[in-house]
Structure formats: structure tokens, C-alpha cells
């Protein structure tokens, strides 16, 4: 018996040694003027951001050509890698859900969640997917059905089968795969931070692989790239999103969709985001996320009831069967001949989700302490997928019904993808109210993304501290708005698209980062499980 | 005159508040009342501790050290927060009532350029403005 205890104690100390680092959180930081900056991540990120912004303003066309060529090359050359990695992430997450490792609790056995399930879920959605779903849930399936820009597996459009495939392919892009990508990053960060005591920053997930070297240059590079991908991803979507919101507003009300409206939207969103970051997680992003969940639910119920309940149920059937039927052929990287769809949609989305994952993953990690691995992955993977099935069946299904029956603008296909949602709502009653609600949803989703993004960048640029002064997050939230407005005003869409292409290209290095995270995380969870078992021996 | 003294502490920068700690201990001795050290702790690891549980242990140890050093009665309270820099002021304010303190002794930074530019605020000023308790600001 004594022998057992000795062995267990020995094993525990061996495992604990693996994660024992002398690094002190904040040891490389400079505290000045209300900032708490990690050196060199903060100054280098800030300098590179300025450099890229100025570069794309001075040479907008060249920057766009260069960065878009990079993105296209990345997407065309590594299409197989993106697709296979996406599949691996889904399988990895599903395996963790069913394995005994799923019982491990983030933050240790005694940890309890900080947020209710509903608020937690609302925040997950609001950070990473809200805006996209608003814009694409109608445009994407209708686009496939009407052969707007490629069709899944080159299937001819306008047929009954094309309708099912359109919903299935859209679901494939917005279902398990993107959430698995977010899930891997979020779980790795949460685990190494809450269970292993490492700083809440991207580099920590590499500690099991690189050891103390993560506190040096390899870590600086990983964190800096994450900051750049996040700020450019956010700023360019805010800039391009402002154009979309402006065209939505001018569609609804009689106002111009020109630069002035766009800059007003950016300023408004940024101002609310700054107020929200100053109010913190509880009073800011959580409140807005919950509010948006209520708005989204109202809009969803309205579309279901006003569309036709029977039609909706039929569309749920189509969405589910389309998703199941086309998931395997669409996730197969070999012998694809649907080039336009494959590269233009799937690979673009995969690169996009992956370049977005440091931001969304880190924010999810921030609010997920106290959940078990199983609970965490179920809520991050399965629940959003189910919700998206319902959302897609209502919005996409209604859009498709209109395209099939020849009602409204959608029957003529997609003219402007940003208007598809409003064109669908026009065919239902109470258009003014529902469209206004939709615009509010879009704008609030922009605020929550900007807010949660600033929290994330703040934490990365202060070396994993979550208690850096509020000034610092205000700085990042403002920077994001300023970058968006300056790019839009001086460089126009070309400058925005250039930097967005740059941000999406970051998906390639991050694919390797995410694959490495899977290995790190498996080792970490395996060790944690051993620790629990040995501790059990000691208790007995 | 007072029944309990509360001292807000930031264990990460404990070296900066030595004067406040000393002053609080002197007052505690002369009124013969206990001192309660209050720290607001985040959920993510920080310089002080790798987890909230370890943070509480550190704070406990700190309170015991102060008791030994000054020969006073001490206690402590770690207040959890999901967003420390934002919630700090209100959590401290709540703590004054929770621990039943009627005197708060706290360190405050000397205002500088950052204050002039309104980049940072003063926690002590907030306490003075919003609490019924006496606040003793130490510099």
C-alpha cells in the first residue's frame, strides 16, 4: 500500500514538473501611461499594424494585388491542407466529447462556471458568428441554388436536389467545422491557462512542445501574428460591414449609402464598443450578447411563423438531410472538379475561420472556466450547429422558397449578396419592423465582435494578463475603428480588401498552429487525467 | 472609534504599498481592532498565483505575515471577479460592507501625466466618493 502511495507521489511530481515554469506573468511588461505592455509583442504589433495600414494606403492597388495573390496562392496550393485540417479538428473534438478525458474540468475539480449557460452561449455566438449568419444565411443557399458563383459539386441549379444541396452545403460551412476550429483553440487556451497556470495567451498552448522557449522569440512571433490577424480581421470586417449596413439602411430608408453614412456607422459602432469595453464583460459584452440573443430569437420566430410553419418544418428536414448527405463529399479534398465552389467558398471560409480562431477561441476561453471538457465541446460544437440548422432552415429556407416560387427579387438570383436578407424579409409582412430589427442585430453583433476582440488583443499584448488597465482595451477598440475608417476613406474598398486578404492568408500559418495545438492539448489532457487518477490513489 | 480596518491590497505590486500597510497596522494597534486585507482576484493565472485557489492561499499567508510582523489581529478576503480592472472599484466598495469595516486605509498613486489626460482614474477617489466609511489615503 505504502509502495502505491510512493509511486503515485513520484508520478504526480514528475507530471507537475513538466508544466512548471519559472516564467512570471508580466515579467516582460512595461507599465506606463495607463498601459501594461508586453515587450516586444505590443510595440512590434503596433508598428506592423501602422506599417501595413500606411502601405495599403500609399499603394492600394499594389497592396491589393500582392495580398490577394498571396491569399489565392495560399488557398489554391494548400486547399487539401485546409480541408483535411478542418476534418481532423471535427474528429478530434468529437473524440474528446466521448472519451474519458471529457470529464476533466477547466480550472480543476472544484471550479464552478462564472456565467450561466444562456449568457455563455450568447457570448460564444456573438463573438464569432453572429454577423456572418445574418448576411449569409439567405445569400449563400440562394446563391448556390441560382448558380450565382459556383455550385456544390458542380450540381446544376434550380432543381429540387439543388435546393437540398444548397442548404446542406451552407450548413457544412457554418456547422461543425467552423465551431471545431474555434473549439480546438478555445479549449487549448482554457486548459493550459486554468489547469496548468500558464498565461492566457496563444503561445502558452505550445508550452508542452517548446518548453521555456515559448517565452522567447517563437512565442513572440505566434502572439504577434495572432494580434495582426485579429485586428485586421476585425477592422476590415467592420469597414466592409459598414458598407453592407449602409446599403441595407439605404434599401430600407431613403438615405445615401455613401462614404459619409459608412463612416458614421463605423464611428457609432466604435463608440458603443468603447463604452462596452469600459463597462467590462458583465456590463458590456454579456449584456449586449444577451440582448442580441433575444432580438435574434424574435426575428427567427417571426420568419418561421410568417414564412409558413409547414414550409419551415420541411426545410428543417431538407437542411438536416442535405447536411448529412453532402458532408462527406464536400469534405473530401481529393479529385474535386467544382473549382469555383471549392476554392471560392469552402477553402475561403476555412482560411477565414482559422485566421479568426485566435480571437474567437481566446474569447471563448476567457468565459469558459468551470466547464468540463465534455460540456465545453458540446456547447461549442453541437449546440451552435443545431441552432444554425434552425436558423438556416428559417432564413435560407424562406429565401429558397421565394426563389423557387418566383416571389420577389431573390427569384432573379443574387444581385447584391448584402441585400439578400432584406429582399427575403420584404416578401414577409411587417417588413419595416423586421428589417430594422435585422439592422440592429447586425450593428450590435459588430459591437460585440469589436468589444470581445479588444479584450483578446489586450490580453495578448500584455503577455496574458487579464488585469491590464482599461485604457489599453480602449486603445485597441479605438484603433480598430480608426483603421477601418481611415482605410475606407483614403483607400476605399481596395485597401480594405487588401488587408482582409492579408488577414485571411494568416489562416495558413495558423493551420499549423492549430494542428500543433491538437497534439499539445491531447498530451496535456492525458497528463491531467493521470494526475486525477494518482490523486485518487492518494485519497484512498 | 473604529471597529475594523480594511486594507485593499494588490499582491502583484505589494512593494508599493508598504506605507499603507504600516499605517494601517499602527492604527489597528492603537484602536486595538483587526485589519482585514482585501484583494480582488481574476479568473486567469497572474503573477501572484496560477489559480484563484492558490491566490487565496497567498493572501492568507500574507495576512498571517502581517499579523506576525506587527503583532495585530488580521483576516483577509479574496473577492472573485471576471474582469478585474473594470470591477475593482465596485468589488472593493461591496467588500467594505461585507467585512464590516468602518475605516479603509489605502495606498494611492501620486497623480501624473496619465491622470491629467484622464487615461487612468483613482480607486481611492472612488471610495471616498461612494462609501460611508472613513477613507485614509496614503502616499
Count of alpha carbons within 13 Å of A115, Cβ hemisphere only? 26
Element containing residue A290 per DSSP (H, E): helix A287-307
Residue A189: closest CA among chain B residues belongs to which residue?
B44
Determine whether the interchain pair B86/A280 forms a contact, defined as Cβ–Cβ distance below 8 Å.
yes
Give dist(CA A44, CA A492) in Å, integer.
26
Give dist(CA A477, CA A130) in Å, integer.
19
pLDDT tens, A145-197? 999 999 999 999 999 999 999 999 999 999 999 999 999 999 999 999 999 99
User: What percent of chain B has a predicted confidence (pLDDT) above 70?
Assistant: 100
> Angle at CA A88, nearest 5°, toward A87 and A92?
120
List, as ranges, residues 350-379 from A with C-beta within 8 Å of B. Answer: 366-367, 369
Residues of B in contact with A468 (CB under 8 A): 85
Q: What is the largest CA-CA distance in chain B?
A: 42
Give dist(CA A436, CA A239) in Å, integer.
20
Residues of A in contact with B51 (CB under 8 A): 107-108, 194, 197
By Cβ distance, the residue of A34, A199, A278 closest to B45 is A199
Neighbours of A420 (CB within 10 A): 27
By Cβ distance, the residue of A280, A282, A466 closest to B44 is A466
CA-based nearest distance A188→chain B, Å:
14
Determine whether the interchain pair A471/B12 forms a contact, defined as Cβ–Cβ distance below 8 Å.
no
From residue A309, how far is each of A134, A315, B15 by CA, in Å? 21, 10, 66
Residue B116: closest CA among chain A residues belongs to which residue?
A33
Q: Residue A105 has what DSSP assignment?
A: B
Determine whether the interchain pair A27/B47 forms a contact, defined as Cβ–Cβ distance below 8 Å.
yes
Give dist(CA A122, CA A289) in Å, integer.
5
Task: Answer yes or no: are the C-beta atoms of A384 and A303 closer than 8 Å.
Answer: no
Q: Nearest CA to A347 among A333, A334, A366?
A: A333
Residues of B in contact with A25 (CB under 8 A): 45-47
Residues of B in contact with A368 (CB under 8 A): none
A464 and chain B: CB distance < 8 Å anywhere? yes
Evaluate if pTM is beyond 0.90.
Answer: yes
Determine whether the interchain pair A34/B120 forms a contact, defined as Cβ–Cβ distance below 8 Å.
yes
Task: Answer yes or no: are the C-beta atoms of A388 and A133 closer than 8 Å.
Answer: yes
From residue A265, how far is each of A85, A138, B20, B79 by CA, in Å? 37, 23, 48, 39
User: What percent of chain B has a predicted confidence (pLDDT) above 90?
Assistant: 74
Residue A15 has pLDDT above 90, yes or no: no
* Residue found under cell 440582448: A291
Determine whether the interchain pair A469/B85 forms a contact, defined as Cβ–Cβ distance below 8 Å.
yes
| Cβ partners under 8 Å of residue A264, min gap 6 | none
Task: Answer yes or no: are the C-beta atoms of B37 and B28 closer than 8 Å.
Answer: no
How is A443-462 classified by DSSP, letter by letter? HHHHHHHHHHHHHHHHHHHT
Give dist(CA B77, CA B98) in Å, integer.
9
A117-128 and A130-145 helices cross at what angle (nearest 10)?
60
Determine whether the interchain pair A283/B43 forms a contact, defined as Cβ–Cβ distance below 8 Å.
no
Q: Residue B119 has what DSSP assignment?
A: S
pLDDT tens, B87-108? 999 999 999 999 999 999 998 8
Residue A497 has pLDDT above 90, yes or no: no
Output the average pLDDT for chain A. 91
Q: Is the dihedral of CA A201, A203, A206, A212 positive or negative?
A: negative
By Cβ distance, the residue of B42, B86, B114 closest to A470 is B86
Give dist(CA A282, CA A119) in Å, integer.
10
By Cβ distance, the residue of B50, B83, B85 closest to A282 is B83
Determine whether the interchain pair A280/B47 forms a contact, defined as Cβ–Cβ distance below 8 Å.
no
Grid cell at residue A316: 428543417
Residue A362: closest CA among chain B residues belongs to which residue?
B44
Residue B58 has pLDDT above 90, yes or no: yes
Residue B113 has pLDDT above 80, yes or no: no
Residues of B in contact with A34 (CB under 8 A): 114, 119-120
First to last CA, chain A: 10
Which pLDDT score is estimated for A303?
Answer: 96
The answer, yes or no, to whether ipTM is higher than 0.85 is yes
Give dist(CA A418, CA A433) in Å, integer.
18
- Residue range B99-118: mean pLDDT, rounded: 85
Which pLDDT score is estimated for A413?
Answer: 87
Residue B117 has pLDDT above 80, yes or no: no
Element containing residue A476 per DSSP (H, E): helix A470-486
First to last CA, chain B: 23
By Cβ distance, the residue of B44, B86, B114 closest to A279 is B86
Residue A199: closest CA among chain B residues belongs to which residue?
B45
Say which range, A129-138, A325-334, A455-464, B51-60, has the weakest mean pLDDT: A129-138
- Residue range A327-337: mean pLDDT, rounded: 93
A507 and chain B: CB distance < 8 Å anywhere? no
Using DSSP bridges, classify how beta strands B5-8 and B103-107 pair: parallel, antiparallel or unpaired: parallel
Which pLDDT score is estimated for A22?
Answer: 80
Virtual torsion, Cα A351, A355, A359, A361, nearest 10 deg? 50
Q: Residue A111 has what DSSP assignment?
A: -
Residue A370: closest CA among chain B residues belongs to which residue?
B43
A26 and chain B: CB distance < 8 Å anywhere? yes
Q: Nearest CA to A358 among A207, A205, A466, A476?
A: A205
Among A27, A31, A34, the strongest candidate for a mutation testing the B interface, having the largest count of B CBs within 10 A, is A34
From residue A96, how far is each of A93, A103, A184, A366 by CA, in Å? 5, 9, 10, 20
Task: Answer yes or no: are the C-beta atoms of A141 and A400 closer than 8 Å.
Answer: yes
Residues of A in contact with B114 (CB under 8 A): 33-34, 471
Q: Nearest CA to A229 among A352, A344, A63, A129?
A: A352
- Residue range A231-258: mean pLDDT, rounded: 84
Determine whether the interchain pair A280/B87 forms a contact, defined as Cβ–Cβ distance below 8 Å.
yes
Helices (H) and strands (E) in chain B, counts: 5, 5
By Cβ distance, the residue of B51, B85, B87 closest to A108 is B51
Which pLDDT score is estimated for A1?
Answer: 62
By Cβ distance, the residue of A24, A197, A367 closest to B51 is A197
Give dist(CA A266, CA A243) in Å, integer.
9
Long-range contacts of B110-117 (CB under 8 A, 24+ apart): B110/B139, B113/A33, B114/A33, B114/A34, B114/A471, B117/A33
Determine whether the interchain pair A281/B82 forms a contact, defined as Cβ–Cβ distance below 8 Å.
yes
Task: Answer yes or no: are the C-beta atoms of A67 and A502 closer than 8 Å.
Answer: yes
- Residue that wins the pLDDT comparison between A464 and B120: A464
Give dist(CA A354, CA A229) in Å, integer.
10
Task: Answer yes or no: are the C-beta atoms of A285 and A122 closer than 8 Å.
Answer: no
Determine whether the interchain pair A193/B42 forms a contact, defined as Cβ–Cβ distance below 8 Å.
no
> pLDDT-based confidence at A432, cuts 50/70/90?
confident
> Angle at CA A429, nearest 5°, toward A426 and A433?
80
Q: Residue A369 has what DSSP assignment?
A: T
Q: In sequence order, what are the beta bridge partners of B79?
A: B40
| Cβ partners under 8 Å of residue A421, min gap 6 | A134, A135, A137, A138, A139, A248, A395, A438
pLDDT tens, A56-103? 888 888 888 999 999 999 989 999 999 999 999 999 999 999 999 999
Amino acid at each position: 500500500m505504502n509502495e502505491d502511495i510512493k509511486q503515485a507521489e513520484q508520478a504526480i511530481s514528475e507530471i507537475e514538473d513538466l508544466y512548471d515554469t519559472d516564467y512570471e506573468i508580466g515579467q516582460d511588461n512595461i507599465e506606463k501611461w495607463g498601459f501594461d505592455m508586453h515587450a516586444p509583442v505590443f510595440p512590434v504589433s503596433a508598428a506592423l499594424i501602422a506599417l501595413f495600414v500606411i502601405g495599403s494606403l500609399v499603394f492600394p492597388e499594389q497592396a491589393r494585388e500582392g495580398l490577394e495573390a498571396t491569399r489565392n496562392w495560399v488557398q489554391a496550393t494548400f486547399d487539401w491542407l485546409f480541408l483535411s485540417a478542418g476534418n481532423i479538428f471535427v474528429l478530434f473534438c468529437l473524440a474528446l466529447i466521448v472519451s474519458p478525458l471529457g470529464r476533466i474540468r477547466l480550472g480543476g475539480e472544484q471550479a464552478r462556471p462564472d456565467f450561466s449557460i444562456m449568457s455563455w452561449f450568447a457570448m460564444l455566438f456573438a463573438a464569432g458568428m453572429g454577423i456572418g449568419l445574418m448576411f449569409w444565411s439567405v445569400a449563400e443557399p440562394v446563391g448556390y441554388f441560382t448558380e450565382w458563383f459556383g455550385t456544390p459539386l458542380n450540381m446544376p441549379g434550380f432543381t429540387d436536389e439543388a435546393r437540398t444541396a444548397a442548404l446542406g452545403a451552407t450548413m457544412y460551412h457554418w456547422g461543425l467545422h467552423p465551431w471545431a476550429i474555434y473549439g480546438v483553440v478555445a479549449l487549448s487556451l482554457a486548459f493550459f491557462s486554468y489547469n496548468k497556470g500558464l498565461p492566457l495567451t496563444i503561445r502558452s498552448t505550445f508550452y508542452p512542445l517548446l518548453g521555456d522557449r515559448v517565452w522567447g522569440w517563437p512565442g513572440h512571433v505566434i502572439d504577434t501574428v495572432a494580434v495582426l490577424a485579429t485586428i485586421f480581421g476585425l477592422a476590415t470586417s467592420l469597414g466592409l460591414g459598414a458598407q453592407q449596413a449602409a446599403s441595407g439602411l439605404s434599401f430600407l430608408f431613403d438615405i445615401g449609402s455613401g462614404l459619409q453614412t459608412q463612416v458614421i456607422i463605423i464611428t457609432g459602432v466604435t463608440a458603443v464598443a468603447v463604452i462596452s469595453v469600459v463597462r467590462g464583460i458583465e456590463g458590456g459584452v454579456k449584456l449586449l450578447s444577451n440582448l442580441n440573443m433575444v432580438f435574434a430569437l424574435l426575428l427567427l420566430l417571426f420568419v418561421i411563423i410568417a414564412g409558413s410553419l409547414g414550409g419551415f418544418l420541411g426545410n428543417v428536414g431538407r437542411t438536416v438531410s442535405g447536411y448529412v448527405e453532402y458532408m462527406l463529399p464536400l469534405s473530401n479534398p481529393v479529385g474535386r472538379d467544382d473549382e469555383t465552389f471549392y476554392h471560392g467558398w469552402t477553402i475561403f471560409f476555412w482560411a477565414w475561420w482559422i485566421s479568426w480562431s485566435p480571437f474567437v477561441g481566446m474569447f471563448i476561453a476567457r468565459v469558459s472556466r468551470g466547464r468540463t471538457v465534455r460540456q465545453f465541446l458540446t456547447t461549442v460544437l453541437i449546440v451552435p450547429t443545431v441552432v444554425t440548422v434552425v436558423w438556416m432552415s428559417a432564413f435560407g429556407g424562406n429565401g429558397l422558397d421565394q426563389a423557387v416560387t418566383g416571389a420577389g427579387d431573390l427569384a432573379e438570383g443574387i444581385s447584391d449578396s448584402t441585400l439578400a436578407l432584406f429582399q427575403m424579409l420584404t416578401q414577409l409582412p411587417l417588413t419595416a419592423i423586421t428589417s430594422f430589427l435585422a439592422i440592429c442585430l447586425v450593428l450590435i453583433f459588430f459591437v460585440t465582435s469589436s468589444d470581445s476582440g479588444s479584450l483578446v488583443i489586450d490580453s495578448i499584448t500584455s503577455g496574458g494578463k487579464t488585469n491590464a488597465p482599461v485604457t489599453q482595451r480602449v486603445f485597441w477598440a479605438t484603433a480598430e475603428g480608426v483603421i477601418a475608417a481611415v482605410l475606407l476613406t483614403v483607400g476605399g474598398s481596395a485597401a480594405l480588401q487588401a488587408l482582409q486578404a492579408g488577414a485571411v492568408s494568416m489562416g495558413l500559418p495558423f493551420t499549423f498552429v492549430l494542428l500543433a495545438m491538437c497534439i499539445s492539448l491531447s498530451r496535456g489532457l492525458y497528463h491531467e487525467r493521470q494526475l486525477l487518477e494518482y490523486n485518487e490513489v492518494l485519497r484512498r | 472609534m473604529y471597529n475594523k480596518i480594511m486594507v485593499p491590497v494588490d499582491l502583484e505590486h505589494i512593494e508599493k504599498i508598504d506605507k499603507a500597510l504600516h499605517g494601517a497596522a499602527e492604527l489597528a494597534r492603537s484602536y486595538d481592532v483587526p485589519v482585514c486585507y482585501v484583494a480582488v482576484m481574476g479568473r486567469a493565472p497572474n503573477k501572484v498565483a496560477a489559480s484563484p485557489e492558490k491566490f487565496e492561499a497567498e493572501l492568507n499567508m500574507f495576512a498571517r505575515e502581517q499579523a506576525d510582523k506587527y503583532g495585530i489581529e488580521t483576516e483577509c478576503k479574496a473577492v472573485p471577479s471576471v474582469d478585474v480592472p473594470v470591477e475593482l472599484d465596485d468589488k472593493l466598495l461591496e467588500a467594505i460592507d461585507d467585512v464590516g469595516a468602518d475605516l479603509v486605509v489605502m495606498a494611492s498613486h501620486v497623480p501624473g501625466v496619465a491622470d491629467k489626460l484622464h487615461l487612468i482614474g483613482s480607486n481611492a477617489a472612488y471610495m471616498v466618493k461612494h462609501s460611508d466609511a472613513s477613507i485614509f489615503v496614503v502616499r
